[in-house]
Amino acid sequence: MPAVSPSLVLAALVGVFTSALYVLVRGRTLAPIGLVGIAAILGAWAGDAIGGLAGLTLVTIGDFRVLAAFGGALLGIGILEILSVLGAPRPRGPEGP
């Protein structure tokens, strides 16, 4: 059985928590909830990696930088929501004669 990196598992936990918290606070999303979760997980994973390069070690679990991952997850959700707004169909007005 292949070994799974702990950072991927922790990024999944942070991403799922962040996406659930986002939907709870906002009440709805423009993108499907599955895409929000995937964007949050990938954002958390990237946030941890960027936090490692930047040397952010304020709150860590082992080598996993939690605050950087949380910020990356929020950034991933934000980018997805912006793309959803830009790609959303515009409502059409009443057609005149």
- Give the residue numbers spanning the domain of 14: 6-86
Single out the residue of 43, 7, 8, 6 nearest to residue 22, CA to CA. 43
Q: Is 80 among the domain residues?
A: yes
* pTM of the entire predicted model: 0.84
**Residues 42-54: what's their mean pLDDT?**
95
Whether the predicted pLDDT of 87 surpasses 90: no
Confidence of residue 93 (pLDDT cuts 50, 70, 90): low
For residue 39, tell me if it sits in a domain.
Answer: yes
What is the count of structural domains for the chain?
1
Angle between helices 66-87 and 6-26 (to 10 degrees): 50
